[in-house]
């Protein structure tokens, strides 16, 4: 495991000086985390990790994703994006997944008092690190007088539940176990487990996994239920879900999209959920959370696999999703711990 400082040479793209500030792109706006990072904004961390996917018997290559997504993000138009910082990448290059996840979670917890965080994975084992970082921050900064456990709403756009019980090769976790690990964490601390998995493929998840989701009282929407006509009802359900939360953790697994839109993933979706359904739902989540004064401190995008991509199609789509999150996210940061 190693922490690789931000490589700002990745942030390159077109410049249009004749257009002044209105012609800026993200590569002209982003800074390394150590430079001027006292301003509230969003920090990007990479999690270059294939270990979880390998343990889950998937196609490897997700370790290449953070830099591929950065390069796709670099040339996108700025459009008054809030302050943006690159905090570098945690690389799991020695097979020690637990240590890599702990290192990422520590980076997240340290950033959250001043910034929101967007992680570019990596396999979906990224989610366990993301949640650990958020829970560590909340445990550290919540008022000592608060007797109520925080209710963290987890919204996962994903073709898979990722609720597998850690065992065998995955005893210490994999890309298929993060939400089972989170559920166990919450149970041990008497925290509520509030999990929505949107875009699940019935063909890719066994009945045992559906049973487990039901036992954990998860909100489940199958991919076949997520289409344009269903958007009003889905937005209403999201509002109801958000109303019961203190904080939100948003995670987007790129294999939720159809293979035609996202070919470069570990497990391409034969059906999937279209971009024109997911993007307005993402926007609704941020808008609704803002209206309810509920912070979304941590988001991540996972499972991009450049080894199997076509013309950077999946990396570009991941970059668009990241761009949407960055522009939808308010700069309000809690005052806890400051």
Q: Which residues are annotated as a binding site for Mn(2+)?
A: 124, 158, 160, 162, 253, 255
Cα-to-chain-centroid distance, residue 307: 21
Count of C-beta atoms within a 10 Å radius of residue 313: 15
Q: Which of 110, 93, 104, 142 is nearest to 34 (CA)?
A: 110
- Between CA 33 and CA 42 the distance in angstroms is 10
Instruction: Pick left, alpha or beta for residue 294 (phi over 0 → left; psi -120 to 50 → alpha; otherwise beta).
Output: beta
- Eight-state DSSP code of residue 229: G
- Between CA 13 and CA 69 the distance in angstroms is 13
Count of C-beta atoms within a 10 Å radius of residue 168: 8
SS (H, E, C) 123-147: CCCHHHHHHHHHHHHHHHHCCCCCC
Instruction: Quote the longest CA-to-CA distance of the chain.
Output: 59
The runs of H, that is alpha helices, within 254-306 are 275-291
- Between CA 223 and CA 329 the distance in angstroms is 26
Q: Which residues belong to the annotated binding site?
A: 124, 158, 160, 162, 253, 255
């Amino acid at each position: 495991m190693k922490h690789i400082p931000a490589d700002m040479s990745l942030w390159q793209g077109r410049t249009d000086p004749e257009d002044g500030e209105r012609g800026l792109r993200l590569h002209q706006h982003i800074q390394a985390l150590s430079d001027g990072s006292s301003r509230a904004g969003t920090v990007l961390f990479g999690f270059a990790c294939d270990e979880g996917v390998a343990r889950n018997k998937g196609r490897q290559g997700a370790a290449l994703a953070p830099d591929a997504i950065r390069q796709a993000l670099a040339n996108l138009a700025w459009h008054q994006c809030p302050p943006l910082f690159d905090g570098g990448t945690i690389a799991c290059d020695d097979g020690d997944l637990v240590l890599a996840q702990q290192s990422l979670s520590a980076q997240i917890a340290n950033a959250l008092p001043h910034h929101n965080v967007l992680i570019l994975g990596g396999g979906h084992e990224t989610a366990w690190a993301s949640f650990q970082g958020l829970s560590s921050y909340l445990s550290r900064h919540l008022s000592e007088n608060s007797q109520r456990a925080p209710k963290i709403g987890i919204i996962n756009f994903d073709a898979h539940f990722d609720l597998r019980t850690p065992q065998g090769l995955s005893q210490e976790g994999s890309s298929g176990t993060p939400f089972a690990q989170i559920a166990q964490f919450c149970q041990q601390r008497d925290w509520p487990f509030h999990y929505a998995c949107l875009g699940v493929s019935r063909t890719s998840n066994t009945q045992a996994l559906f049973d487990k989701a039901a036992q954990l009282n998860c909100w489940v929407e199958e991919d076949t239920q997520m289409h344009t006509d269903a958007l009003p009802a889905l937005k209403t359900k999201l509002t109801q879900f958000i109303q019961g939360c203190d904080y939100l953790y948003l995670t987007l697994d790129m294999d939720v999209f159809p293979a035609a839109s996202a070919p470069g993933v570990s497990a391409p979706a034969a059906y999937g959920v279209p971009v024109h359904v997911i993007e307005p739902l993402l926007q609704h989540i941020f808008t609704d959370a803002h209206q309810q004064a509920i912070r979304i401190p941590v988001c991540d995008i996972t499972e991009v696999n450049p080894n199997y991509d076509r013309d950077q199609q999946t990396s570009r789509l991941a970059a668009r999703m990241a761009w949407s999150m960055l522009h939808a996210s308010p700069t309000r940061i809690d005052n806890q711990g400051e």
